[in-house]
A and B are shown apart, each in its own frame.
Chain A
Amino acid sequence: MAAEAPSPAAARVVVTERRYLSRQTRRTIAFYTFIAPWLAGFLLLGLGPMLIGFLASLTNYNGVNLDTLQFVGLRNYERIFTADRDLGLAVSRTILWTMLNVPIWLVASFILALILDQAVRARGFFRTVFYLPSILPIVAIVWAWRVMLGQNNGLLNGILSITRGAPVAEIWLGGNNAIYSLTVISVWAGLGSGMIIFLAGLQGIPESLKEAARIDGAGAWRVIRHVTMPLMTPVIFFQLILSIIGSLQQFTIPMILAGGQLGSRPPDSTYLYMIHVNLQTFASQRFGYGMALIWVMFVVIILLTVIVFWTARYWVYYEADIK
C-alpha cells in the first residue's frame, strides 16, 4: 500500500522545525557533545589542577600547614633563581640527557622502522618482538637492567670479565656512566612505540613515488634521502616534539634505578629536573616551591615547543604546502 502523503500544512511544520536549527548549529552541537567527556576530564583533571597548582606556587603550602597558609607572592619563583643550590646540577643534567636521548631514540626507532618496513620474512613477528618492551611495566624493565648492569654481579661486567681475563666491576649505574645507562634503558624501552609510529608514516608513502625514483636511477639510499625522508618529516616533527617533552619530564627510570623510594636520590649524573622537583616537594616538604618549579618547567616546555614549531617551516614538508 502506498504511503499517505503529508498535507501541505504538516509539511510546512516539518520544514520549519528542521530549519529551527541550522545545519552548522547542529554540527556544532554534535561536536561539543562528542568532545564533552574529554573536555570535562581535561578541565577537571588537567586545567583545574594546573591553575590550582599555580595558586599553590604563590603560597607557603607545605602539605600540613593549612592553618598558617599565606600568600607569599613570587617568593618561590625568586628562590628558583637565587637560592636553590642543586638546581644548576638538575638543569645541566636534564639538558645533557635530553640531548642524548632525543636524537638517539629518534634515529634508532626510525632506522628500525625502515628495516621492518621491508618485505622480509616474519616481519610481523619482528615488529611484535621489538614492540614488546613498550608494553612491559617500566619497573620490571628497570629491574631487569639493574641485574644486567650491576657492579659486582652484573651480566655485562661478567661478560667483560671473561673477555678481559680479569674481574671487572665498572659502575654502570653510578658516576658518569649513569646517564649513558639511563639513555640505553630509556631508548630500549621506548624503541617499540617510536617504531610503530614511524611504520605507520612509512606505510602512508605511496609506493609509486619510490618506484618512479628507482626508474630514474636512484639507489636505495637516494630513495630514502630524497623520497622517504621528506615525506616523513611531519612524523619526525611529531616524534621530536613528544620526545623533547618526555625527556624533560623524565622521572620514573632514574628514580627506580636509585631505589624507587620516596627520598631516594639518584647519582649526580642522573639528577634530572623532575627528580629535583620530587625531592623538593616531598622530601623537603616544600609543596608551594615544588609547584613553582613545575610551572617554570611548563613554561620552558612551551617555549621549546614554540621554537621547534617555528623551525618546522624550514624542514618539515607538507604536501598541502605545494603551491
Chain B
Amino acid sequence: MEAQNTSKNSVSRRDFMKVAGAAAASGLLATHLSAFTGRSTARAQAEAEVSFMIHGGELSEEEIQVFHDENPGITLTRLDVDQTTLFARMAAGDAPDIWRLQYPEFPQLLARNLVLNLQSFFEASALLKLDDLVEPNNFYKATDAFNIGEGPIYGMIKDWSPDMTVFVNDGLFEAAGVDPVPQDAPLSYQEYADLAAQVTQTEGERVNVVGYFFNQGWIDRYWAAWLIPLGQGLFSEDFRTANIVNNEEARAMVKWHLDMAQDKVAFSPLVQSSAWAGPDFINQSVAMVQFGYWFSAFLRINALNVTGDDLTPAIESFQELMDSGKIRMVPAPSWGGEWSSPTITATAAVIYRETANPDEAFRVFEYYNAELPAINRADLGWGIPALRSMFDRLPKDGTYGQLMWNALENELPHTGTIIPANPYLPGGEPGAMGQAFLGKWEEYLNGNLSFDDLLVQIEEDTNDIIETNAFDMGM
C-alpha cells in the first residue's frame, strides 16, 4: 500500500494545530478523548475501528449490524456529517477514516494530501472492478489537484444522478393550457423561461403555482456545467481568477437566473418557498423542479407509496398524476444546443490518507459501495448505482417506475462530462462564487445594484477568496 508521507519539519505546527483543532471544536474534546481511549482498547484487543462520516439515512443501523456480523474484527462507527467536526478532527490528526463529500471539495483535499490513493486497493478488489465503474467516478480520478478526470482513483461516488434533469407536472401544464415539455430531446434554458412564465399562476399578489425551481445552492455549479460544452470555464486556466465580467456566455447565464427571479417565475427572495421544492412539488405549488433522478425516489417514497393516515388529499391527487404518467422526468435543458447532462454533485466517499487501518477502511468502503447499502440504494432508486453491474436493480415497476427508467435510459448517454473544480476554493453548497451571487442578488432584485456592478462584485469576492486560499495553502 502507499507509503505514508509525513513532513518532519511541520511537527511543531502540527502539534500546535492539534490543540487548536481540538479546542476550536471545544465541545468535541470529550468525543476526542473517548475516541482516543477507544482506539487504544481496540488495538489491545486486535479490533480495528473504522469511522465513517455519513448521513444516517445513507448508512442505517441495520446495515452497520450486518457489516459487523459479516466482518468480525472490524468495528464500524457512523459519525454525523459535520464540516466543523471533520476539520477539527483533521487538525487533531484524528479525521474519520472515511467521509462523505461532493466533487468541488475533492481537489483541495488532494492538494493537501489528505486523501488516500485507492488505485491499488481497487486493482486488488474482487467487489469493486475499475471497469465496472460508471463515468462520473472520474470526478475522483486525478493526476494532481489541477488535473481531474484521469489518473489514479481516490474516491468513489455512492450513487449519482444527472442533476439538471427537470421533473414536470403535466397536470399543471394542462391546467394552464400549455403544451407538455417534450420527452426525447432537451429544450433550451430560454424555452424553459418562457414555459415557466406560462405555467406560473398568480392571484393578486399571491403566487399559487411557481413555474420553475432551480437549486440556489448549486447556482455556480450550473454555470460551470453549462459553460463546458461551449469550451469555456468560470475561471482562468490556472484557476487563479474568476472569469465572468468579460465572458458573454457567463453573463447571460447569470442574467437568466436573475430574470427568472425578477419575473417571479422561480423561487427567489421575491417568491419564497414554504419549505423546499420537494413538498412544494407534491403540493403542486411548483410546476417544474430541476433535480436529478434521485428525486424520483423522493416522490415514490413521499407520495406514490404513501398510504393510511398519511394519505392527505394533496398526496392522493399527486398519486393520481403519477399513476397516469403526468409526473415526468425530462432531459436536462441545453445551453448552446448540446445535450449535456452531467452530475453536478458526484456525492462520494474518500479514505483519510493517515488512516490507521487502511485495509479495514477499504473493506468498509467495499461494503458500502458494492454490498448491502449499495443494493438498498439501488433498489429504491435513490440515485443511479456507481457500478454498471447494478443498473438492473433500479426500479422499473408500474407506470411511474417505467417512465422514470425510460427517461433515465434516454439521459445516460449524455452524462459523461466531468466539471473541473477550483482547487483554491472551498467546495460548499453554494460555492464561493454562488455565495457571492446570493449575497448580492437581493440588492439587484430590489433595484439597488446594477447588473454590471453585481458581476464585478461577484468576480472580486471570488478572486479575493482564491487569493487568500492560495496564500493560506502555499500554492
Question: B1 to chain A: which residues have CB within 8 Å?
Answer: none
Question: B113 to chain A: which residues have CB within 8 Å?
Answer: 67
Whether B10 pairs with A61 at a CB distance below 8 angstroms is no
Contacts A167-B204, A168-B206, A169-B206; is A63 near B270 (CB within 8 Å)? Answer: no
Counting chain A residues whose Cβ lies within 8 A of the other chain, the interface size class is 35 or more
Majority-rule SS of A interface residues:
loop
Contact residues, A51-68 vs B (CB, 8 A): 52-53, 55-56, 60-68
| A201 CB-CB contact with B under 8 Å | no
Rounded to whole angstroms, the CA-CA distance of A173 and B14 in the bound complex is 44
Question: A117 to chain B: which residues have CB within 8 Å?
Answer: none
Q: How far is the CB of B117 from chain A (nearest CB, A)?
A: 17
| B446 CB-CB contact with A under 8 Å | yes
| B44 CB-CB contact with A under 8 Å | no
Partner of B204, one of A49, A168, A268: A168
Work out how many contacts link A and B, with CB atoms closer than 8 A.
157
| A283 CB-CB contact with B under 8 Å | yes
Contacts A66-B14, A282-B428; is A174 near B473 (CB within 8 Å)? Answer: no
Question: A45 to chain B: which residues have CB within 8 Å?
Answer: 26-27, 29
Residue of B with least CB distance to A147:
B274
Question: B269 to chain A: which residues have CB within 8 Å?
Answer: 171, 174-175, 267
Contact residues, B388-435 vs A (CB, 8 A): 426, 428-430, 432, 435
Contacts A48-B23, A55-B16, A167-B203; is A151 near B285 (CB within 8 Å)? Answer: no
Residue of B with least CB distance to A68:
B474
Q: Which of A26-34, A229-237, A257-265, A309-317 contacts B (4 or more CB under 8 A)?
A: A257-265
Rounded to whole angstroms, the CA-CA distance of A153 and B13 in the bound complex is 54
Residue of A with least CB distance to B13:
A69
Whether B87 pairs with A150 at a CB distance below 8 angstroms is no
Contacts A86-B439, A154-B274; is A283 near B426 (CB within 8 Å)? Answer: yes
Q: How far is the CB of B442 from chain A (nearest CB, A)?
A: 5
Contacts A153-B274, A169-B205, A263-B428; is A63 near B87 (CB within 8 Å)? Answer: yes
Residue of B with least CB distance to A151:
B272
Question: A56 to chain B: which residues have CB within 8 Å?
Answer: 20, 24
Residue of A with least CB distance to B205:
A169
Q: How far is the CB of A265 from chain B (nearest CB, A)?
A: 5
| A284 CB-CB contact with B under 8 Å | yes
Residue of A with least CB distance to B468:
A286
Whether A55 pairs with B20 at a CB distance below 8 angstroms is yes
Contacts A153-B274, A263-B430, A284-B426; is A64 near B206 (CB within 8 Å)? Answer: no
Rounded to whole angstroms, the CA-CA distance of A62 and B471 in the bound complex is 10
| B63 CB-CB contact with A under 8 Å | no
Question: B16 to chain A: which residues have CB within 8 Å?
Answer: 55, 69
Contacts A52-B23, A56-B24, A66-B10; is A279 near B435 (CB within 8 Å)? Answer: yes
| B207 CB-CB contact with A under 8 Å | yes
Rounded to whole angstroms, the CA-CA distance of A267 and B441 in the bound complex is 10
Whether B443 pairs with A261 at a CB distance below 8 angstroms is no
Contacts A268-B442, A283-B435; is A68 near B24 (CB within 8 Å)? Answer: no
Majority-rule SS of B interface residues:
helix
| B472 CB-CB contact with A under 8 Å | yes
Rounded to whole angstroms, the CA-CA distance of A291 and B204 in the bound complex is 48
Whether B112 pairs with A64 at a CB distance below 8 angstroms is yes
Contacts A52-B23, A263-B430, A267-B269; is A150 near B274 (CB within 8 Å)? Answer: yes
Contacts A52-B24, A66-B14, A284-B426; is A263 near B90 (CB within 8 Å)? Answer: no
Partner of B274, one of A146, A168, A285: A146
Partner of A268, one of B203, B205, B443, B460: B443
Whether A263 pairs with B207 at a CB distance below 8 angstroms is no
Whether A261 pairs with B429 at a CB distance below 8 angstroms is yes
| A166 CB-CB contact with B under 8 Å | yes
| A121 CB-CB contact with B under 8 Å | no
Contacts A49-B26, A85-B457; is A60 near B87 (CB within 8 Å)? Answer: no
Rounded to whole angstroms, the CA-CA distance of A279 and B428 in the bound complex is 11
Whether A152 pairs with B207 at a CB distance below 8 angstroms is yes
| A15 CB-CB contact with B under 8 Å | no
Question: B270 to chain A: which residues have CB within 8 Å?
Answer: 171, 174
Whether B442 pairs with A64 at a CB distance below 8 angstroms is no
Rounded to whole angstroms, the CA-CA distance of A291 and B17 in the bound complex is 14
Q: How far is the CB of A259 from chain B (nearest CB, A)?
A: 8
| A10 CB-CB contact with B under 8 Å | no
Rounded to whole angstroms, the CA-CA distance of A42 and B214 in the bound complex is 46
Partner of B90, one of A64, A86, A161, A285: A64
Binary contact track A254-278/B, C-beta < 8 Å → 1, others 0: 0000010111010110000000000
Binary contact track A14-45/B, C-beta < 8 Å → 1, others 0: 00000000000000000000000000000011
| B109 CB-CB contact with A under 8 Å | yes
Question: B274 to chain A: which residues have CB within 8 Å?
Answer: 146-147, 150-154
Closest 4 CB pairs of A and B: A68-B474, A167-B204, A285-B426, A49-B23
Q: Could you name 15 residue pairs across A and B whose Cβ atoms are closer than 8 Å?
A: A45-B29, A53-B24, A55-B16, A62-B472, A64-B109, A66-B10, A66-B17, A67-B113, A69-B10, A146-B275, A169-B206, A263-B217, A284-B432, A287-B87, A288-B472
